[in-house]
Structure 1
Amino acid sequence: MFPHFDTQRLSARPITLQSDSVDTLAQDTLALLTPAVQDTLPGHWPAVTNVSEAQSWLQARTEESMLLAVRRLSDGQLVGFLILSPTVLVQVGTSWHLGYLLGEAHWRQGLASELVQGLMAWCQQHQQVACLRAGVSKDHPSSARVLQKCGFSEIALPEGPEGVQFYEYHFHTPAGAN
């Protein structure tokens, strides 16, 4: 089940490229993915500089994960994306790798914390996810602060990419853990 939820200022809904207006969504995505925003994204994702590349970016994200459009409740404007990749962690259960991005115009307004807290509330209510995990570039401390503010704990992942710090939030104590 794809999560979908509202917070005080935001709405997060799954994107299906078959039913959403792909051209409009691609144009809105291109506007969000400024160079500063793209600098915060994983290095293996290709640069987006035109509508065609934005369509490809959206297609790739929907193929590899659950992609949710994050819109302002007040006017429906696209402000960012929530990206969730399900995995299973031994002794923990279902885990979602969490990624999020907000357009540059929406930074420093508390929206990222609100978005992550909204996802956490949805997970708590639906009890389908045991753990949320997120990776943050060490060059992007504001994103790490969002996760810490939401109650995530820093973890060591030896197999993780260099320059990325990981955080986890557990909704219950894993079986056998003390």
Structure 2
Amino acid sequence: MKIEMNFSTERLSAKTLDRTMRGIQDEIMTMFTEPVSRHLPPSCQNFHTAEDVDHWLEGMARTGSVLRLTLQQQAVGYLFVFPEPEDCYRLGYVLDEARWGKGFATEAMQGLVTYLSAHEHAASFIAGVEPENTGSVNVLKKLGFAYSYSEQEVDYYSLQNG
């Protein structure tokens, strides 16, 4: 259920990923290092071949959208959007390790929330994070997300729009 999206923030641009883009598999394999992917679901870990990445992207396209996040036309991460019932969206992100601690994740996620609120009439958002992933927990809290519940060693945070 792919939603075509395109937005910019102060420093970043986000656009629905073109899976046919030359070199995209290598870009993803390079970015999804062990430190970057360790807190992600198993399906987002251990990409060894272009076929691994293609298989993952096909699965993502069946349930949601992947946005490529760029800074001055260089890939710095990816955003994930999964529509849920009742105008709710499940969100996630991956940020290149070299970009950690510089406010990019907060900026990108704020841009995504703003975009979905304006263009898709989102009423609420949810994001799952492993409790030990304190950086991502802090990003969600900065954006106003509040702890909602835990399931299978993942804490879920929610944000109501308006």
Question: Structure 2-normalised TM-score?
Answer: 0.90
1:117 and 2:117 correspond: no
Segment drifting more, 26-35 vs 57-66:
57-66
The aligned residue for residue 78 of structure 2 is 81
1:140 and 2:133 correspond: yes
Q: How many corresponding residue pairs?
A: 160
User: How far 1:106 moved relative to its partner?
Assistant: 1.3
Q: Tell me, what secondary structure is at the counterpart of 1:156?
A: strand
1:106 and 2:99 correspond: yes
Structure 2 CA distance, aligned partners of 1:44 and 1:26? 15
User: How far 1:125 moved relative to its partner?
Assistant: 2.4
Identity of aligned residues (%): 28
Task: Give CA deviations for 1:80-135 in whole Å, capped at 9, x if unaligned.
Answer: 111111011xxxx2111001111111111110000011112213323511011000
Alignment of 1:54-73 (within 5 A): 54-72=53-71
Preserved CA contact (<8 Å) 2:38 2:45: no
Structure 2 CA distance, aligned partners of 1:108 and 1:46? 22
| Structure 2 residues not aligned, in runs of 5+ | none
Aligned residues: CA RMSD = 1.7
| Structure 1 residues not aligned, in runs of 5+ | 173-178
Question: Structure 1-normalised TM-score?
Answer: 0.82
User: How far 1:150 moved relative to its partner?
Assistant: 0.7
- Greater Rg over alpha carbons, structure: 1
